[in-house]
Amino acid sequence: MAGRDQKKLLMLCYHYPPAVSGGVERSARFARHLSECGWTPVVLTTSRWGEGGGAGEEVVRVGELLRRTGAAAAPRPGSGAPGGTAGVSAPPGIRGPLIRFAEKWLLIPDKHVRWATMAFFPALGALLRGRAGAIFTTSPPASAHLLGLKLKGLTGKPWIMDLRDPWTLEPLAWYLRSGGARLSLEKRLERLCFRYADAIITSTPEAAGRYGEIYPAWARKVHAIPNGYDADEIEAARTSISRSDIVKDIGEKIFVMSHVGTFCRHTDVPACPSGLLEAIRNLAREGVVSPDTFRLILAGGMNPDTERLIAGYDLGGLVSMTGPVAHIEALRIMLRSDLLFLYDPNREARYYVHGKLYEYLASGRRILGVVPDGAARRLLESSGHAAAVTGDDEKEIRPVLAEVLSGRGGASARPGFDVTRYEGARLTSMLEGVLEKVYHG
């Protein structure tokens, strides 16, 4: 709060503005609001994305060891994929297997250990010179936590590790999803970090509960702070829809349905909402929708194979694929939409919630969800905003979509559901509580 002594927090965040991805917003939101809670953030991130993008906080950028420079090394700005690219395949020929071997067995815990190596001395210097009194690391990538572990050991500063996605529960990386020796090694690293971290934060209560069962000796250190939204950002998008490059020229009589971000958290897996696309194609054949009355906007980074699959439905003016967009533009698209689409092709999603879902809920729009049982589905159903179906099946999706199009599929928040509990300032106050506990403890 104003007038309080400002304590300084070193935030080790690989994903940070001006990059635009699902991993950026949580850390940027914490940094924006920490100064209101008596903490000054010092963000250490990669220089890969370029300069700018912050909100006035101190940002230090470092390069990545052995990373090529130039256009070939630069990711597409605004990609929705963790790490900046959407479904980039390994190069053909012998390079592909060599790269996969290096990712699995040499770059441990992940390829971003090259950044963590370069960030070590700037981070250590900041702590030893008194520029920060506590450490915050966030993953993915998990290499940030190994950096935090080393800094904790050398300086004794309190350390909070933030798991935006569970580390070894429903892992993201292809080389962990198959289990085996590589996953066993990762679990040992995770256990080591849980042992020495002063606090562990997960983004869902389900993940916090499961980690408490796996590591009962350290369960008291585990806290759940969900992802969320910023009310100021929502309002800024609402008042600037007329400046949108994508939706400003769409007539009010056109029903807009949209999906923002990537379809699948595993960017190496092509994922296509075939049930929805088939439903739209059949409704078009029946004359229920046309380019004059309906538009599906798919905004965000997309696996190239997915783009080809969508193009194969030949939906013409019914579907617009925008490619990556800035966060404010994504919010404008949400607010212009009559129906938002949430899609997860995975069979299980027990421990994570898609970050965009909180902004979907804050927009007040209806949501058509095709998601497996788990944390995201429970949140979606508890909100009352949802028109949910159990699978990616045209026979299930088409009647629900037709009902919404006819105006009979309205949704309103259920009594007792308070979306403001996910507002950024409130969530940062939860982080402040954890910080104060470990800082003074």
Question: Is 80 exceeded by the pLDDT of residue 153?
Answer: yes
Cα 375 to Cα 153, 164, 219, 221, 420: the distances in Å are 34, 14, 20, 21, 18
44-48, 157-161, 282-286, 409-413: range with lowest mean pLDDT: 409-413
User: 398 and 340 in one domain?
Assistant: yes
Question: Is 60 exceeded by the pLDDT of residue 246?
Answer: yes
Closest CA to 88 of 104, 72, 102, 101: 72
User: 261 and 165 in one domain?
Assistant: no
State the amino acid at position 72 in one-letter form: A
Q: Per-residue DSSP letters for 21-36? A: STTTHHHHHHHHHHGG
| Domain count across the chain | 2
Are 62 and 122 in contact by the 8 Å Cβ rule? The answer is yes
What pLDDT is stored for residue 68 in this prediction? 57
| CATH classification of the domain holding 309 | 3.40.50.2000
Expressed as residue numbers, the domain containing 429 is 7-228+423-440
User: 433 and 294 in one domain?
Assistant: no
Any domain includes 1: no
User: 328 and 212 in one domain?
Assistant: no
User: 67 and 154 in one domain?
Assistant: yes
Any domain includes 175: yes
User: 299 and 190 in one domain?
Assistant: no
User: 263 and 180 in one domain?
Assistant: no
Q: Using one digit for the tens of pLDDT, what is the confidence trace for 349-366?
A: 899 999 999 999 999 999
Any domain includes 364: yes
Closest CA to 371 of 383, 363, 178, 163: 383
User: 216 and 106 in one domain?
Assistant: yes
Mean pLDDT score across all residues of the chain: 89
User: 300 and 152 in one domain?
Assistant: no
User: 241 and 202 in one domain?
Assistant: no
User: 336 and 297 in one domain?
Assistant: yes
User: 246 and 195 in one domain?
Assistant: no
Helices (H), 158-244: 174-177, 180-196, 205-214, 231-238
Any domain includes 339: yes
Any domain includes 398: yes
Cis-peptide, bond into residue 109, ω within 30° of zero: yes
Question: Is 70 exceeded by the pLDDT of residue 82?
Answer: no
- Averaged pLDDT for residues 54-72: 75
Any domain includes 2: no
Any domain includes 70: yes
Q: Which residue has the tokens 């559901």?
A: 417
What pLDDT is stored for residue 91 in this prediction? 58
